[in-house]
Amino acid sequence: MIYTEQHLELQRTVKKFIDTEINPHIDAWERDGIFPAHEVFRKMGKLGLLGINKSEAFGGLGLDYSYQLAFCEAMGEADSGSVPMAVGVQVDMATPALARFGSDELRREFLAPSIQGEYVACIGVSEPGAGSDVANIKIRARRDGADYVINGSKMWITNGTQADWMCMLANTGEGDIHTSKSLICVPLKTKGVSVERKLDKLGMRASDTALLHFDDVRVPQRYRIGEEGRGFVYQMVQFQEERLWGVASTLRWMEKTIDQTIDYTRQRTVFGKPVLENQVVHFKLAELNTKVELLRSLIYRAAELMMRGEDVTLLASMAKLSGGRLARELADSCLQYFGGMGFMNETPISRFFRDSRLISIGGGADEIMLGIIAKHMGIFPGTRRKD
Ligand SMILES: Cc1cc2nc3c(=O)[nH]c(=O)nc-3n(C[C@H](O)[C@H](O)[C@H](O)COP(=O)(O)OP(=O)(O)OC[C@H]3O[C@@H](n4cnc5c(N)ncnc54)[C@H](O)[C@@H]3O)c2cc1C
């Protein structure tokens, strides 16, 4: 996949937006532990950035996934992982299933205002007792007349203190854990919803993350996305866009980190010569740059498959796994070459070190990706190699 002039133009628009509307404020937002999502999303909505590959019928631009990927990569120009992650939740984590399987009425009510940036969305899969083991979530949406009555908790919810609605995975039936769940759009101003705690984090500090509690929360059954009992399957599909967003939005940030390391080590003299002139240093940076390019190729291949309507689970899992590991290697190596300055909060690498650590955990930990890849290789009993 090669970007055209239209893709590059889109990326220039995104970079200009980040340079004027995000990066000048990011240090203050990091200190505040939150960024003003409604304000930022409204501006992005006006530029059409929150519905690039969503249907024009609901206010999107109706472009293919390659443009969404170009947008995602350009979000890596932000000087923090927090805003790209929150935008990713809005466009590629909380809304793909709604866009794909939701009724027109539901898409008018929740998708259209999210594309405009009027609504902030969040995705509610994880719970205090179940993160990796998604099928084991405990929250229940019980049928009562024309409504569901929801009881339970959702944990580590990005945008959780300011979101207007949640795309929630909940148990709506009994029996087989894979066929008894549904995805439901839950407005978070509804009676019985409470933010129990805003969570204090190692990184992604400008993003608000919350523990939410649902106590007899009543929503109409028409807020369910698609068929009852299909929620687990819908979420597994939706996870693929989430995982690709998570790694693709880091590509530019990794490259910028390498560039910053080159600049610093070129001017920092140790034992009479620049740190960069040590072969071990510039060889390592060359190797890291090569690995970023390899990761980009893998992501682009997954994107090609997605545009052909094929299942991208294997490639998205490989990209998520290798991207998380590469970010850790890159953050650790580059920070080391900054020496003491790398350990200082005033140096951007320290934020990259903290923020990028999430890639190997959020949206499915490395071990979950390895399990999926092993299943595709036919390693477990009852599985066979998928070619
Ligand atoms: C900043 C942040 C933002 C987040 N945002 C959201 C959000 O918006 N919405 C949402 O739903 N969730 C969100 N999450 C939750 C995230 O997706 C989970 O943390 C993640 O899926 C891991 O689940 P867990 O934390 O419960 O880890 P656990 O399931 O408790 O696993 C702990 C560790 O055990 C290991 N492990 C797990 N399974 C295996 C295995 N089979 N073999 C070997 N080792 C294994 C892994 O190393 C794993 O990290 C967020 C998390 C963070 C930190």
Let me know whether 154 and 63 are in one domain: no
Q: CA geometry: angle at 367 spanning 204 and 245, to 5°?
A: 45
Residue 77: beta bridge partners? none
Pocket test for ligand 1, best of 91, 156, 212, 321 (most atoms within 8 A of CB): 156
Asked if residue 240 has pLDDT above 90, the reply is yes
Q: What is the pLDDT of residues 171-201, one digit of tens each?
A: 999 999 999 999 999 999 999 999 999 999 9
Q: How many residues does the chain have?
A: 387
* Residues 175, 82 share a domain: no
| pLDDT (tens digit per residue) in 100-122 | 999 999 999 999 999 999 999 99
* Residue 383 pLDDT greater than 90, yes or no: no
d(CA 201, CA 12): 32
Q: Which amino acid residue places its CA nearest to atom 53 of ligand 1?
A: 362
Residue 382 scores a pLDDT above 80: no
Are residues 371 and 248 part of one domain? yes
Read off the pLDDT of each residue in 285-300 and give the average, rounded to a whole number: 98
Residue 364 CA, closest ligand 1 atom number? 21
CATH of the domain at 236: 1.20.140.10
pLDDT tens digits along 10-27 = 999 999 999 999 999 999
The answer to whether 118 is a known catalytic residue is: no
List the structure tokens of 77: 């120009």
Residue range of the domain that includes 363: 232-376
**Would you state the pLDDT for residue 258?**
98
Q: What is the mean pLDDT of residues 146-158?
A: 98
Question: CATH no. for residue 132?
Answer: 2.40.110.10
Whether residue 311 sits in one domain with residue 335: yes
Q: State yes or no: pLDDT of 30 exceeds 70.
A: yes
What pLDDT score does 380 carry?
80
Last residue of a domain, one of 94, 120, 146: 120
Q: Residues enclosing ligand 1, CB less than 6 A?
A: 89, 122-126, 131-132, 156-158, 201, 204, 209, 358, 361-365, 367-368, 371
385 part of a folded domain: no
341 occurs within a structural domain: yes
Contact assessment for residue 147 and residue 217, using Cβ atoms and an 8 Å cutoff:
no
In 3D space, the residue among 317, 267, 324 whose CA is nearest the CA of residue 291 turns out to be 324
Does residue 202 have a pLDDT over 80?
A: yes
Beta-carbon contacts of residue 250 (< 8 Å; ≥ 6 apart): 76, 81, 323, 327, 356, 359
Cβ contacts of 67 within 8 Å, gap of 6 or more:
6, 7, 10, 52, 53, 61
100: which DSSP letter?
A: H
Are 22 and 40 a contacting pair, CB within 8 Å? Answer: yes
% of residues, the chain, pLDDT over 90: 97
My answer on whether 139 and 115 are in the same domain is no
Residue 386, pLDDT > 70, answer no
Residue 387 domain flag = no
Read off the DSSP letter of residue 74. H
What is the per-residue DSSP string for 325-382? HHHHHHHHHHHHHTGGGGGSTTSHHHHHHHHGGGGGTTTS-HHHHHHHHHHHTT-STT
Residue 72's domain is classified under what CATH number?
1.10.540.10
Residue 203 has what pLDDT? 98
Mean pLDDT, range 89-98, rounded to an integer? 98
Compute, in angstroms, the gap from residue 116 CA to the centroid of ligand 1: 31
Q: Which of 30, 77, 228, 242 is catalytic?
A: 242
Residue 312 lies in a domain: yes
Report whether pLDDT(344) > 70: yes
Is pLDDT of 28 > 70?
yes
Q: What pLDDT, on a 0 to 100 scale, did the predictor assign at position 12? A: 98
241 belongs to a structural domain: yes
Predicted local confidence at residue 1, as pLDDT? 84
Q: How many domains does the chain have?
A: 3
Q: Is the pTM of this model over 0.85?
A: yes
Q: Which of 164, 167, 159 is nearest to 184 (CA)?
A: 167
Cα–Cα distance, 280 to 330 (Å, whole number)? 14
**Whole-number pLDDT of residue 68:** 98
pLDDT at 384 over 80: no
- Residue 195, CA distances (Å) to 151, 152, 260 in order: 14, 12, 39
The token pair at 245 is: 């967003």
Mark which of 101, 120, 139 sits at the end of a domain. 120
